[in-house]
Structure 1
Amino acid sequence: MSSELSIGNEIKDGHKETYKWVLNNIKWLSELEAFYRDRAKLEKEYSEKLTHLAKEYFGKKSASTVSLSVGDMPTTTPGSLEAASLVAWNEVLSQTEMISKDHNQLSQEFEFQVADQIVALSKKCELLLTSINGFNTELTEKRDKAYSNLDKAKKTYDEKCVQMESARAKQTKTSSDKARRKADEREHEMNIAKNHYLITISQANRIKDKYYFQDVPEVLDLLQDLHESRTRVMNSIWISAGAVEREMNKRIDSRLTTVDSVVSQNKANLDTTMFVKHNLKEWKEPPDFQYVPSSVWHDDEHFVVPSNIELQDLKVRLAKAQQLYDQMNSFSQSEISGLSSLNKQKKEIKAQENVDAQSLLALLTKYTNVVSSYTSHETFKVEAEVEIESIQNNVAEEHDLNTEDIDLSNLRKKSGVFNRFKKSLTISSDKKSTHQDGGDAVSVLSSESKAKHHNRFSLFKGRDRAQSSASGASEVTSSNMNSIQDSSEHNKNRVLFQYQKQDNDEVSVSPGNAISLLTADSGSGWTRIKNDSTGEAGLVPTSYIEINEKPRSSAPRAPPPRKSGNAARTVKALFDYEAQGDDEISIRQGDLISVLKADDGSGWTYGELNGQKGLFPTNYCQ
Structure 2
Amino acid sequence: MDGPTVNFGEELKTANGIEFLDDAQAFYRERAALEKDYATRMSALTKKFLDRKAKKASSLSVGDTPQMTPGSLESASVTTWSTILTSHDSLAKEHDSLSNALITQISDPLKAIATRYEEYRKLYNTLNMKVMADRDGVYSELKKSKGSYDAECKQVEDKRAKVDKAFDSSKTKAEKSYSQELIEMHNIKNTYLIKINVANRHKQKYYHEDIPDILNSLQDLNETRITKLNGIWTLGCQLDINCRQNSITLLSDTVKEIARNLPALDSAMFSRHNMGGWVEPNNFEFEPSQIWHDTSDIVVDDLATVFLRNILGKSRKELEGAKAQVDARNREIESLRKTRDSIKLNEEMQLKEAEVTRSLLIHQEQLVPHSSKLTTLQVEISTILNAVGDVERGTQTHKFKSKTFTIPTTCDLCGERAWRLTGAGFSCQDCGYTCHAKCEMKVPAQCPGVLDKAGKKALKEEMKSTAPSTGGDSGVALSRSNTMNSLSSSYAGGGGGATAPQRMGSTLSRTTSPAANTPAETAVPAASSLNAVAAAASPAVRRNRVIAPPPERYVSAPPPEAPRPSAEKDEVVGRMLYAYSANGAGEISVEGGQEVVIVEPDDGSGWIQVQVGSLSGLVPASYVDASPPPSTPIEGRPDSRHSSSNVSISNSIVGSMTGSGTIKKKGPAVKPKRGAKRVKHVEALYEYSARSDLEWDMLEGDRFVLVKEDSGDGWCEVEKGGVTKSVPSAYVQVID
TM-score scaled by length of structure 2: 0.30
| Structure with the greater alpha carbon radius of gyration | 2
Higher helix proportion (structure 1 or 2)? 1
